């Protein structure tokens, strides 16, 4: 019988990064993650059930987008029905925005009040996919690569689903009383984790937060992004909604992961062709929002949020004609169940 060998394929990006590291020395984890995530989304990103690397809530079922549309209608009504702009950061295939616009389209008042729709998307590849998905929907949609390109001019609703988990993180570790950070180095002919003296400390009193041998993750990029979103909202009013998987109370767990073809793979497997992410620190996002003057900041579990915004009713309305085995039941359980996405995924809402 032929033995199956676990052949490790070295990608072009890995070769390039290895050369850089051999020449210049190890690079901090967040720099590595920014390069690899950007490369993945520019060249390889595949989101979805059949031919994707991973599946997200909007791709699981339209009941997710319909429930977010329900939340949007309520939020907009509570705000006094202002003329508003709608932004989605990191829209993937464009499915969530498609479903929100579709399921709110009967609300003529809301659609009259919806002035401009922006998709913030750094990947040209995914911008192309989103343009196809959203083409039949709305001529109001514009694409920008970063939030800096948005000029706040009115009440703004900013949404994101599984966007923050793609932003780079740092890991701080304490060894013999000294604080270091995780870096990526080249060892025994391949990329590997290492530690280096911390070049920028983004966490105040870090050494007090860590016992010897402990590790703590944080994302200056995610905090900066939340702060920026909050300043936009603060200027003319608005709300932000962040859906992602993560934790609320400081993370001393190694949460980096790589996914390819719906399988968890090693962090250095097919560098640039596997999706790498980390858990989102929701308390850090909440802190960033409050520091910019947003007073109403709430974090809930995805399960509680979706149930409070009518997902059961929506699921019945959309699928009950298909009989008792309708696939909506499975999707509902997957999106809201504690043992599925209901608990691990969190929702942050923030407004002035
Ligand atoms: C995990 S996908 C989520 C896709 C989609 N929201 C969904 O739920 O299916 C992450 C998305 O964020 C985008 N993205 C990642 N980093 C970004 C950045 N720095 N700026 C803008 N978009 C980014 C990716 O291109 C992709 O569209």
Q: Which ligand 1 atom sits nearest the alpha carbon of residue 59?
A: 9
Residue 5 is predicted with a pLDDT of 42
Model confidence at 2, in pLDDT bands (50, 70, 90)? Answer: very low
Residue 9 is predicted with a pLDDT of 85
At 308-340, the pLDDT tens digits run 999 999 998 887 666 656 666 789 999 999 999
How large is the C-alpha radius of gyration of the chain? 21
Model confidence at 6, in pLDDT bands (50, 70, 90)? Answer: very low
328 lines ligand 1 (CB under 6 A): no
47 lines ligand 1 (CB under 6 A): yes
Which strand (E) or helix (H) includes residue 243? strand 238-247
Using the mean position of ligand 1's atoms as its centre, give its distance from the Cα of residue 167 in Å: 9
At 265-279, the pLDDT tens digits run 999 999 999 999 999
Average pLDDT rounded to a whole number, residues 292-303:
98
Residue 136 is predicted with a pLDDT of 79
Model confidence at 253, in pLDDT bands (50, 70, 90)? Answer: confident
Q: What is the mean pLDDT of the chain?
A: 92
Q: Which ligand 1 atom sits nearest the alpha carbon of residue 277?
A: 1
Angle between helices 95-103 and 124-134 (to 10 degrees): 20
Model confidence at 7, in pLDDT bands (50, 70, 90)? Answer: low
Q: Is residue 182 packed enough to be buried (19+ CB in 10 Å), middle (13-18) or exposed (0-12)?
A: buried
Model confidence at 202, in pLDDT bands (50, 70, 90)? Answer: confident
Model confidence at 252, in pLDDT bands (50, 70, 90)? Answer: confident
Long-range own/partner contacts, residues 306-314 (CB < 8 A, 24 or more apart): 306/64, 306/67, 306/335, 306/336, 306/342, 307/336, 309/67, 309/68, 309/70, 309/71, 309/74, 310/67, 310/70, 311/63, 311/64, 311/66, 311/67, 311/335, 311/336, 314/63, 314/66, 314/67, 314/70
Query: Residue 172: which of 205, 224, 217 has the closest Cα?
Result: 217
Asked if 28 contacts 170 with a C-beta cutoff of 8 angstroms, the reply is yes
Query: Residue 118: which of 99, 132, 138, 102 has the closest Cα?
Result: 138
Q: Which ligand 1 atom sits nearest the alpha carbon of residue 54?
A: 1
Residue 1 is predicted with a pLDDT of 39
Average pLDDT rounded to a whole number, residues 119-141:
92
64 lines ligand 1 (CB under 6 A): no
Task: Determine which of 51-65, 86-100, 311-325 has the lowest per-residue pLDDT on average.
Answer: 311-325
Using the mean position of ligand 1's atoms as its centre, give its distance from the Cα of residue 120 in Å: 9
Strand partners for 87: 118, 158
280 lines ligand 1 (CB under 6 A): no
Asked if 65 contacts 98 with a C-beta cutoff of 8 angstroms, the reply is yes
Which residue among 44, 52, 68, 122 has the greatest number of ligand 1 atoms within 8 angstroms of its CB, and so is best to mutate? 122
Q: From atom 14 of ligand 1, which residue's Cα is the shortest distance away? A: 90
Residue 80 gets the label, from left (phi > 0), alpha (psi -120 to 50) or beta, of left
Query: What is the distance between the alpha carbons of residues 153 and 224, in angstroms, rounded to a whole number?
Result: 21
Q: From atom 12 of ligand 1, which residue's Cα is the shortest distance away? A: 90
Q: Is 270 helix (H, G, I), strand (E, B) or coil?
A: coil
Q: How far is CA 289 from CA 146, 231, 243, in A?
A: 18, 8, 15
Highest mean pLDDT pick, 99-113, 129-143, 249-263: 99-113
What backbone torsions phi and psi does residue 131 show, to the nearest 5 degrees? -60, -40
Q: How does strand 280-281 pair with strand 238-247?
A: parallel
> Between these two residues, 159 and 206, which has the higher pLDDT value?
159
Using the mean position of ligand 1's atoms as its centre, give its distance from the Cα of residue 95 in Å: 12
Average pLDDT rounded to a whole number, residues 28-55:
93
Query: What is the distance between the alpha carbons of residues 258 and 267, in angstroms, rounded to a whole number?
Result: 5
Query: What is the distance between the alpha carbons of residues 267 and 210, in angstroms, rounded to a whole number?
Result: 24
Asked if 213 contacts 131 with a C-beta cutoff of 8 angstroms, the reply is no
- Total residues belonging to the chain: 352
Residue 4 is predicted with a pLDDT of 40
Asked if 118 contacts 86 with a C-beta cutoff of 8 angstroms, the reply is yes
Which residue among 30, 39, 90 has the greatest number of ligand 1 atoms within 8 angstroms of its CB, and so is best to mutate? 90
Q: From atom 13 of ligand 1, which residue's Cα is the shortest distance away? A: 90
Task: Determine which of 17-21, 112-116, 223-227, 320-324 has the lowest per-residue pLDDT on average.
Answer: 320-324
Average pLDDT rounded to a whole number, residues 212-236:
96
59 lines ligand 1 (CB under 6 A): yes
**Is residue 23's pLDDT more than 50?**
yes
Q: From atom 27 of ligand 1, which residue's Cα is the shortest distance away? A: 92
At 101-126, the pLDDT tens digits run 999 988 999 999 999 999 999 999 99
- Using the Cα atoms of residue 18, residue 22, residue 24 and residue 30 in order, give the sign of their dihedral: positive
13 lines ligand 1 (CB under 6 A): no
**Is residue 189's pLDDT more than 70?**
yes
Q: Which ligand 1 atom sits nearest the alpha carbon of residue 145?
A: 21
Q: Which ligand 1 atom sits nearest the alpha carbon of residue 120?
A: 21
Residue 139 is predicted with a pLDDT of 79
**Is residue 3's pLDDT more than 70?**
no
Using the mean position of ligand 1's atoms as its centre, give its distance from the Cα of residue 276 in Å: 12
Q: Pull the structure tokens for residue 79.
A: 């705000």
Which residue among 30, 40, 41, 53 has the greatest number of ligand 1 atoms within 8 angstroms of its CB, and so is best to mutate? 41
Asked if 233 contacts 239 with a C-beta cutoff of 8 angstroms, the reply is yes
């Amino acid at each position: 019988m032929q033995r199956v060998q676990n052949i490790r394929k070295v990608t072009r990006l890995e070769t390039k990064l290895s050369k850089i590291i051999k020449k210049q020395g190890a690079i901090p984890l967040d720099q590595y993650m920014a390069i690899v995530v950007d490369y993945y989304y520019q060249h390889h990103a595949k989101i979805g059930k059949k031919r994707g690397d991973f599946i997200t809530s909007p791709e699981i079922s339209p009941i997710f987008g319909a429930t977010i549309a329900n939340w949007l209608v309520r939020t907009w009504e509570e705000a006094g029905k202002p003329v508003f702009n709608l932004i989605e950061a990191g829209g993937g295939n464009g499915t969530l925005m498609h479903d929100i616009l579709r399921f709110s389209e009967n609300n003529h008042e809301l659609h009259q009040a919806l002035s401009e729709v922006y998709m913030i998307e750094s990947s040209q590849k995914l911008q192309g996919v989103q343009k196809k998905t959203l083409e039949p929907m709305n001529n109001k949609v514009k694409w920008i690569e970063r939030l800096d390109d948005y000029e706040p001019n009115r009440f703004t609703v900013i949404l994101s689903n599984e966007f923050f988990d793609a932003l780079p993180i740092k890991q701080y570790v304490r060894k013999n009383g000294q604080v270091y950070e995780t870096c990526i180095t080249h060892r025994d002919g391949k990329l590997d984790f290492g530690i280096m003296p911390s070049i920028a400390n983004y966490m105040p009193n870090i050494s007090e937060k860590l016992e010897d041998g402990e590790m703590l993750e944080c994302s200056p990029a995610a905090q900066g992004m939340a702060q920026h979103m909050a300043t936009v909202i603060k200027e003319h009013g608005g709300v932000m909604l962040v859906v992602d998987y993560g934790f609320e109370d400081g993370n001393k767990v190694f949460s980096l992961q790589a996914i390819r073809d719906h399988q968890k793979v090693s962090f250095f497997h097919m560098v640039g062709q596997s999706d790498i992410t980390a858990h989102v620190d929701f308390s850090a996002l909440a802190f960033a929002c409050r520091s910019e003057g947003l007073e109403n900041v709430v974090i809930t579990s995805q399960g509680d949020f979706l149930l409070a915004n009518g997902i059961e009713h929506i699921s019945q309305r959309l699928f009950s004609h298909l009989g008792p085995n309708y696939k909506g039941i499975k999707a509902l359980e997957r999106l809201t169940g504690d043992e599925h996405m209901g608990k691990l995924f969190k929702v942050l809402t923030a407004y002035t």
